[in-house]
Structure 1
Amino acid sequence: MGKVEEDVLAGVGSRLHALRRARGTTLADLAAETGLTASTLSRLENGKLRPTLEQLLPLARAHGVPLDDLVAAPPTGDPRIHLRPMRRFGLTIVPLTRRAGGVQAYKVVYPPAGRAATTEMQSHDGYEWFYVLNGHVRFRLGEQEYELGPGEAAEFDTRTPHWIGSADAQPAELLTLFGVQGERAHLSALAP
């Protein structure tokens, strides 16, 4: 193995440790999520164990980062951003940020009304801000219900029961900022 490969692998442990800490996850939680033992995870983070592809793949998936981020792969010279949409709960979700912790940005496409996987309200830790790019959304927050169209935004504490979905027969596209630790998006006007 050459010097470049050694340098790349030497930094994996500290990146794994930083990602886990930024998510506020324990070794035991991460072990349950990845199928790796807490001991193996600790040795990987401390640099006492050289990572294998079989170990890095579930870790990248658990931390929500591309494998390239774990190994700090050198750039290829291609300036294009390759977004990878995911399908979850009937939604199409495109992560726009590539780091663990802090406020995360997503483009979310809600299916047309009547095609949602659920209309059940949910609540969880965090704080969310969304901006309607296209379509119209029905937004239920606690006992209140709102309809928002293109150019409108909302923000709320996600511990309050809520539900978001398309308000009509068209899909709705939203730009969403979410902070799992309850971080709020701070908007400010810039002086000309």
Structure 2
Amino acid sequence: MATDDKEVLAGVGPRLRVLRRARGTTLAALAAATGLTTSTLSRLENGRLRPTLEQLLPLARAHGVTLDELVAAPLTGDPRIHLRPVRRSGLVMVPLTRRAGGIQAYKVIHPPAGRAPTMNLQTHEGYEWFYVLNGQVRFVLGERELRLGPGEAAEFDTRLPHWIGSAGSELAELLALFGAQGERAHLSASAG
């Protein structure tokens, strides 16, 4: 086995421990979910046992990650972004950027108005820009309420009370840019 492969496998144990602790799961609960013994799980996490595929498959399933993520497999040169939707408060958010900090891009899918969570104005640091891809959007910003359709966009300071949701009986799909430090979206045209 090449040195790189040994390094990849050596990093599995600490990743397993971090994943388990982040989920607040005990070794006993993980053992019940995977069919592995607590002793085996402990030795894997401590690096005293080299993981096998038969052990990694149920662990990846239990933690909700791919095998590549679990072993931190090196990139294969695939330029595609493999999107992992996040479901939160009835929304589906698909991150389109991978880097930490700076402006983050998301595709956001709001459920139809009848199935959406109740309107709850929120405030937080940052600046947001969104573009309606599909459906009708109800956008509340402070005392104002706007309806936006496909091809329309809004930009606002998220310190103002706001809420975004579907305004119709169909899903509303948005492309959203968010800057936690208040970065604004800037468009520029080259002189020419």
Specify the TM-score bucket, using the shorter chain as the normaliser: 0.5 to 0.7
CA displacement at 1:187 relative to structure 2: 1.6
Separation (CA, whole Å) in 2 of partners of 1:54 and 1:129: 37
Query: What is the TM-score with the length of structure 2 in the denominator?
Result: 0.66
Residue 180 (str. 1) matches residue 187 (str. 2): no
Three-state SS of the structure 2 residue aligned to 1:114 is helix
CA displacement at 1:111 relative to structure 2: 0.7
Return the index of the structure with the highest Cα Rg.
2
Separation (CA, whole Å) in 1 of partners of 2:157 and 2:90: 23
CA displacement at 1:80 relative to structure 2: 4.1
Whether the 8 Å CA contact 1:138–1:164 is kept in 2: the answer is yes
The residue number in structure 1 matching 2:16 is 53
Three-state SS of the structure 2 residue aligned to 1:177 is strand
The residue number in structure 2 matching 1:3 is 3
For structure 2, which runs of at least 5 residues remain unmatched after alignment?
A: 23-65
Whether the 8 Å CA contact 1:9–1:51 is kept in 2: the answer is no
* Within-5 A mapping of 1:98-177: 98-177=98-177
Residue 130 to residue 67, structure 1, CA distance change in 2 (3 Å): farther
* Residues 123-153 of structure 1, C-alpha deviations (whole Å, 9 max, x = no match): 1111100000001101000011111111010
Query: What is the TM-score with the length of structure 1 in the denominator?
Result: 0.66
Three-state SS of the structure 1 residue aligned to 2:138 is strand
Separation (CA, whole Å) in 2 of partners of 1:181 and 1:128: 10
One-letter amino acid matched to 1:110: H
Identity %: 70
CA displacement at 1:81 relative to structure 2: 3.2
Separation (CA, whole Å) in 2 of partners of 1:99 and 1:163: 26
For structure 1, which runs of at least 5 residues remain unmatched after alignment?
A: 13-49, 60-65
Residue 51 to residue 172, structure 1, CA distance change in 2 (3 Å): same
Residue 191 to residue 73, structure 1, CA distance change in 2 (3 Å): farther
Whether the 8 Å CA contact 1:57–1:67 is kept in 2: the answer is no
Separation (CA, whole Å) in 2 of partners of 1:67 and 1:130: 34
Whether the 8 Å CA contact 2:122–2:163 is kept in 1: the answer is yes
Separation (CA, whole Å) in 2 of partners of 1:132 and 1:161: 20
The residue number in structure 1 matching 2:89 is 89
* Residues 86-138 of structure 1, C-alpha deviations (whole Å, 9 max, x = no match): 11010011110011111000000111112111211111111100000001101
Separation (CA, whole Å) in 1 of partners of 2:151 and 2:185: 17
* Residues 58-87 of structure 1, C-alpha deviations (whole Å, 9 max, x = no match): 67xxxxxx9968986322354543211111
Whether the 8 Å CA contact 1:116–1:165 is kept in 2: the answer is yes
> What count of residue pairs does the alignment treat as equivalent?
150
Task: Tell me the C-alpha RMSD between the 2 structures.
Answer: 3.1
